Chain A
Amino acid sequence: MSYELVGISVLWLFLYGYLIVASIDFGAGFFAFYAKVTKKDHVINQLIARYLSPVWEVTNVFFVFFFVGIVGFFPDTAYYYGTAMLVPASFAIILLAIRGSFYAFENYGSKQSTLYTFLYGASGLFIPASLSVALTISEGGFITEANGNVSLNYMDLFTSPLSWSIVALSIVSILFISATFLTFYAARAQDWPALKLVRTFALFWSTPTIIAALTTFIVLSQHNERHYENMLNLWWVFGLSVGFFLIAIWLLYQQKRYGLAFISVMLQFLFAFFGYGVGQYPYLLDPYILIHEGATHPSMGIALIAAFIGGLLLLIPSLILLFKLFLFDAAYVKGKK
């Protein structure tokens, strides 16, 4: 495998990681707000706080890892995406900033405030919406380059069914992933009232998820024939994805093996995400950036991979420790520590 393929695979994997951990976080923020409005906060907010408090900063680093990595491996992305994304990415930054800091202000600070909870919950839905613009742009047709000026055609973007279906898909996926995780977490904590509530959330959001996924697929066929064809050739990957989705739903209905249900959801998105990504190969930005042409110098590529391996050797034991202390420590999860 060439170094640029290793690079993009690793980055894609981390983006997937961000997708999962951030979804849990963003969705949980929304549910916390929803519960507060419907006066059910006493049921689930304790649970949410116990999970989120130790890990929210780690979630953010996943994102930073991705964008630093992609500019490192593919400096051309800085030029095209950087110029085109100034406005949407700035909005995402501001929302992320509000979200992260308000979380800290509320949780580590002293007073609870419905406004903070609202901002926290709402930002969690808008961030994916603004970040998903990058995915939409990558399909091509929204960026023009004329005498060295890259610009984004906002009209096209806002009137494109593709961008709206991607936005819708990102929002409902977040709620689905998050609810499934919380179901699992509540089961571990043996918190039955919370479990009951979040399980209904999970079941509720499963249908929109699959509908949005299908819609996006169809809209993509109108927009980027090549990508769509490639994805059709990878039909078995998407088949697996749907299979895992069904397993997850079945387990949730049967009210058992919630851990397995969450793993199935993770696999569902893993396959869909990789099917989507592989289908986009060889482009990073249709038609401007090709994976092989846009890559950095080989010496830098190798150095980055070496740094990555070194970094993993450091991180994996630390992450295991974190999970052991907080996620898999039954006493902590139950609130006894």
Chain B
Amino acid sequence: MELDTVLMSRLLTAMTLGFHIIFATLGVGIPLMISIAEFIGIKKNDPHYQLLARRWTRGFVITVAVGVVTGTAIGLQLSLIWPNFMQVAGNVISLPLFMEVFAFFFEAIFLGIYLYTWDRFTNPYIHWSFSLPIIIGGGFSAVFITTVNAFMNTPEGFTTENGTFAAVNPLAAMLNPATPTKVFHVLSSAYLTCAAILAAITAFMILKRKTTDYHKKALRLTMTMTFLFGLVTALAGDTSAKFLADHQSEKLAAAEWHFETSNNADLILFGWLNENNEPTGEMRIPGLLSFLAHGNFNAEVTGLEEVPTDKQPPLWIHYMFDLMVTIGFLLPGIALLYFILAMVKRWNEHNKGLLSLIFLSGPLAVLAIEFGWIYAEEGRQPWIIRGYMTVEEAVTSSSYVPHMFVLFFVLYVVLGTLCVVTLRKLFRNNPAEVELEKHYPTITKGDDE
């Protein structure tokens, strides 16, 4: 029974976070895309971009709603399911959680203003400027929550006295060693994911209907962003790996199946473990792990052997890491392909094959987010606060967790389904061409190829 509660609590937390993170990521990244589109629209006086901003916003509102309600769920669940964790960690890490609420406040207020003032000001830049606090609010809520998660991985900013935390320094706890790389990677991957999703939707529309100027511009904009943030995300991921090598070596070692400490370590891609726990059927790149971890092909990389067996993370996180990294290379790769095709006159960047690839990159990006988090969270096991409290010590003593799991599972299925249904209806009944004509009657003619 005891074990069941732990397992079900972990599953419930993972399910809620795994669901929330999709909408949270959209909440962080989409406002940036909207803002860029509106800015270009005003600057170039191009109704296409302005309509783009409007339509993205309309869809965004729906996903925000789901983000807010699932965020409220996870916020409460942290206390409901992990009361011992919150009681102890609350003393050290409640500052960023508290500040996050202000970020939400800020975002929520300006989102309300942004939504309902499209045509209210004669100077269009005033309306555009309301998108900035939304970007900042969403971004900072990610920053703050990520510092909390970073703290769980490399706790700092306190001393312990007979089992409880004493001499707390909230700022030091927030700015723990994991924070910089984590924040960098979480933010960049959120922007990347949103660009990829919007590109995927555009590609889908072109595949299904026809190529209009509106869709071409949308595709070019989102592809540019995917490419840029793809590079930044890979860079940020690299800094994350270097951080792990220095401060949380067991997570990297488990992900890389790097069991013995050694120099000039190979990078192992995919494969499986045989009965002696040896990697089989893998691809090996000599020395690359050393390079990834320390920027030097001969550097020493700490192996998993240095951590007692009962404190080692599960080895299957290897696949999570590999899949995330693979997607990390695919996304900017697809974008690059698009630009190469666009550059050469004879080739058509709107061919079916490429559009299908672009369409795939949206779901792939979301998967990368999920894989990344599962890797990061599983790689911390068995700790909830690394080195101080295990997951088992943190869990609730209530016996109703399994029931709640079922309830929330149903809730997320309903929310997810209705969200998709609503979004589809919203845009199916109101295609861009029709709306363009309604809003900007002067330019519709000659729009089609």
Contact = CB atoms under 8 A, between A and B. Distances in A.
B166 A297 contact: yes
Interface stretch (B268-276, B303-311, B368-376, B397-405): B397-405
A194 to B, nearest CB: 20
Interface stretch (B64-72, B177-185, B202-210, B333-341): B64-72
Interface stretch (B45-53, B317-325, B346-354, B419-427): B419-427
A303 B5 CA distance: 35
Nearest to B94: A72
Contact of B109 (A76, A150, A318): A318
Interface string A103-130: 1110011110000000000000000000
Given A82-B396, A321-B113, A300 B80 contact: no
A105 B62 contact: yes
B73 interface: yes
B168 A297 contact: yes
Contact of A104 (B61, B81, B105, B398): B61
A54 B112 contact: yes
Nearest to A94: B411
Given A57-B108, A61-B104, A97-B415, A71 B79 contact: yes
B397 A151 contact: yes
B404 A87 contact: yes
Contacts of A97: 69-70, 72-73, 411, 415
Contacts of B440: none
Interface residues of B, number: 74
B169 interface: yes
B413 interface: no
B106 interface: yes
B112, B171, B426: which has the most chain A beta carbons within 10 Å? B112
Chain A contact patch, size range: 35 or more
Contact of A322 (B91, B112, B411, B430): B112
B90 A75 contact: yes
| Residue of B97, B102, B408 contacting most chain A CB atoms (<10 Å) | B102
Given A304-B98, A311-B105, A75 B86 contact: yes
Contacts of A300: 91-92, 94-95, 168, 170
B94 A326 contact: no
A60 B80 contact: no
Interface string B246-274: 00000000000000000000000000000
Interface stretch (A40-48, A62-70, A171-179, A279-287): A62-70
Contacts of B97: 68, 71-72
A75 B113 CA distance: 35
Contacts of A63: 72
Contact of A315 (B62, B70, B71, B106): B106
Given A61-B101, A105-B419, A314-B102, 10 more contacts: A54-B112, A100-B69, A101-B415, A109-B422, A151-B398, A300-B94, A300-B95, A303-B171, A304-B94, A307-B102
30 contacts: A57-B65, A58-B108, A58-B112, A60-B69, A61-B101, A61-B108, A65-B101, A68-B97, A69-B98, A71-B90, A72-B95, A78-B79, A82-B81, A86-B401, A87-B400, A90-B408, A96-B72, A101-B66, A101-B418, A104-B62, A104-B66, A108-B426, A296-B91, A297-B165, A297-B168, A308-B98, A311-B101, A318-B110, A319-B109, A325-B120
Q: Which 6 A-B pairs have the closest CB atoms?
A: A72-B94, A104-B65, A75-B90, A78-B86, A82-B83, A311-B102
